[in-house]
Amino acid sequence: MIELRDVAYSYGGGELLSDISLKMAPGSFHFLTGPSGAGKTTLMKLCYGELLASAGSVRIFGTEAREMSRDDVSRARRRIGVVHQACQFLDHLPISENVALPLTVAGRDADAEAANLSDLLAWVGLTERAGALPPSLSGGERQRAALARAVIMSPEVILADEPTGNIDWDMSVRLLSLLIELNKMGKTVLIATHDMNLIRTAKHEVNARVLRISKRRLQLAGADL
């Protein structure tokens, strides 16, 4: 689905990532770890075409990222749901409309998708908060709303960048459970996190690969990929 081969990325005159190779197969589950500033967010941006590699190959659904037009990237992103580290919402719109925004951007009839939206809000436990404005939501509610928005288009891949970084443990486990449910439905999932307790919890539920960025390179279970 997404494949990186011998990828490097340079920023500000220095190399942030080097010799990165990663293949995300359909239905796979990955954790991405590493210290702050190691390049986890950068690696995710390479995976959905926000950044282009300085060297090597990034293939998104079989197409070389460098050869993709803006429209190609836009179409590919409809197949990739991204939960960003900082949840950004339009504060003047209720959370239900914020979640439905990708439908509007894609030119789909939000009214026709009303039942799906209702089911999705129920799935993330936000039915009673559907009409609330984003500033009134707690951190956990914002993260669950961000996940709902990321999956409203039924993407094949979910990329979550530190989705539990600013919420308590109980809410972190709840969010993890939702991501595991998506994986069991056949979605490919990649979660960037520094929380090893979260990874240990997931190990009881899902067969996850744990990747670590160290010294600009990607490692798996202590060995270079």
Q: Secondary structure of the chain in the HEC alphabet?
A: CEEEEEEEEEECCEEEEEEEEEEECCCCEEEEECCCCCCHHHHHHHHCCCCCCCEEEEEECCEEHHHCCHHHHHHHHCCEEEECCCCCCCCCCCHHHHHHHHHHHCCCCCCCCHHHHHHHHHHCCCHHHCCCCHHHCCHHHHHHHHHHHHHCCCCCEEEEECCCCCCCHHHHHHHHHHHHHHHHCCCEEEEECCCHHHHHHHHCCCCEEEEEEECCEEEECCEEC
User: pLDDT (tens digit, 9 = 90+) per residue, 168-192?
Assistant: 888 889 889 989 999 999 999 999 9
**Per-residue model confidence (pLDDT) at position 115:** 84
User: pLDDT (tens digit, 9 = 90+) per residue, 7-60?
Assistant: 999 988 788 999 999 999 999 999 999 988 889 999 999 999 999 999 999 999
Beta-sheet pairing, 157-161 with 14-24: unpaired
**Per-residue model confidence (pLDDT) at position 114:** 83
**Per-residue model confidence (pLDDT) at position 21:** 94
In this predicted structure, the answer to whether residue 222 has a pLDDT above a threshold of 70 is no
**Per-residue model confidence (pLDDT) at position 67:** 94
- pTM here is 0.91
Confidence of residue 225 (pLDDT cuts 50, 70, 90): very low
**Per-residue model confidence (pLDDT) at position 221:** 57
User: pLDDT (tens digit, 9 = 90+) per residue, 82-134?
Assistant: 998 888 899 999 999 999 999 888 888 767 778 889 999 999 999 999 999 99
**12: exposed, middle or buried (Cβ count in 10 Å: 0-12, 13-18, 19+):** exposed
Confidence of residue 224 (pLDDT cuts 50, 70, 90): very low
Q: Which domains does the chain have, with CATH numbers?
A: 2-79+155-224 (3.40.50.300)
User: pLDDT (tens digit, 9 = 90+) per residue, 139-160?
Assistant: 889 999 999 999 999 899 999 9
